[in-house]
Chains A and B, each alone.
Chain A
Amino acid sequence: MDSSKNNPIITVKNLAARFGNNVVFEDVSFEVYKGEVLVIVGESGCGKSTLLRIMIGLQKPAAGQVLYQGTDITHAREKDLNLYRQNIGVLFQSGALFSSMTIKENIELPLSEYTDLSPDAIDQIIKMKLGMVNLAGYENHHPSELSGGMRKRAGIARAMALDPRVLFFDELSAGLDPVTAVELDNLIIKTNEALGTTMVIVTHELESIYKIAHRVLMLDKEAKGMIAEGTPVDLKEHATDPRVKSFFLRQLPSAPAEQRFYDN
Chain B
Amino acid sequence: MTKPLKRECQADYKISFQWEDLNLFIYLSGEFGLKNLNAFTDDIKREISRQETQSVTIDLSEICYLDSAAALALVQIEKGSASRNIPCRLINLNDEAKGIFSVIHEDALTQLPFHPEKSSEGVITQMGQASLYLARDFVNFVTFIGELLVALAYTLRHPKSLRGKDVLFYVRRAGVDGLPIVALIGLLMGLIMAFMSYLQFRQFGANIYVPALVSFAMVKELGPIMTAILVAGRSGSAFAAEIGTMVVNEEVDALQTMSFDPVRFLAIPKVLATVIVVPILTIYADLAGILGGMIIGITSLDLTVKTYLTQSMKTIQVFDVITSLIKASVFAGLISAIGCQRGFQVRSGAQDVGKYTTSAVVAAIFLIVLTDSIFAVMLYYVKRYSIL
| Residue numbers in A under 8 Å from B256 (CB-CB) | 57-58, 85
Interface of chain A residues 7 through 62 with chain B (CB within 8 A): 53, 56-58
**A259 and B251 contact, Cβ closer than 8 Å, known pairs A85-B258, A264-B92:** no
Does the CB pair B102–A260 fall under 8 Å? Answer: yes
Give, as a whole number of angstroms, the nearest-CB distance from B1 to chain A.
Answer: 14
Count the B residues whose beta carbon is within 8 Å of the partner chain — how many? 21
Given A94-B250, A260-B102, A262-B98: A56 in contact with B257 (beta carbons within 8 A): yes
Question: Which DSSP category, helix, strand, loop or mixed, fits chain B's interface?
Answer: mixed
- Given A56-B257, A86-B259, A110-B258, answer yes or no on A96-B251 (Cβ-Cβ < 8 Å): yes
Cα A227 to Cα B224 in complex, Å, equals 63
| Interface hits, A77-132 → B, CB 8 Å | 81-82, 85-86, 88-90, 92-94, 96-99, 109-110, 113-114
Cβ-defined contact, B91 with A263, below 8 A: yes
B371 within 8 A of A: no
A261 (CB) vs chain B CBs: closest residue: B98
Q: Give Cα A57 to B90, complex, Å.
A: 60
Q: How far does the Cβ of A140 sit from chain B's closest Cβ, in whole Å?
A: 16
B253 at the A interface (CB under 8 A): yes
Q: Which residue from A85, A97, A99, A264 sits with its C-beta under 8 Å from B93? A: A264
Q: Which residues of B contact A94 (CB under 8 A)?
A: 249-250
Set of chain B residues within 8 Å of A81, measured between Cβ atoms:
259
Q: Shortest distance in angstroms between A254's beta carbon and chain B's nearest beta carbon?
A: 14
B90 contact set on A, CB distance < 8 A: 262-263
**B79 CB within 8 Å of chain A:** no
A197 smallest CB distance to B (angstroms): 16
Determine whether B101 belongs to the interface, using a CB cutoff of 8 Å to chain A: yes
Given that A85-B258, A109-B258, A259-B102 are contacting pairs, would A96 and B92 also be in contact in the complex, using a CB cutoff of 8 Å?
no
In the complex, besides A85-B259, A94-B250, 4 extra interface pairs with C-beta distance below 8 angstroms are: A85-B256, A88-B257, A92-B254, A262-B98
13 A-B residue pairs with Cβ-Cβ distance under 8 Å, sorted by A, are: A57-B256, A57-B257, A58-B257, A85-B257, A85-B259, A88-B257, A94-B250, A96-B249, A99-B246, A113-B258, A114-B259, A259-B102, A263-B90
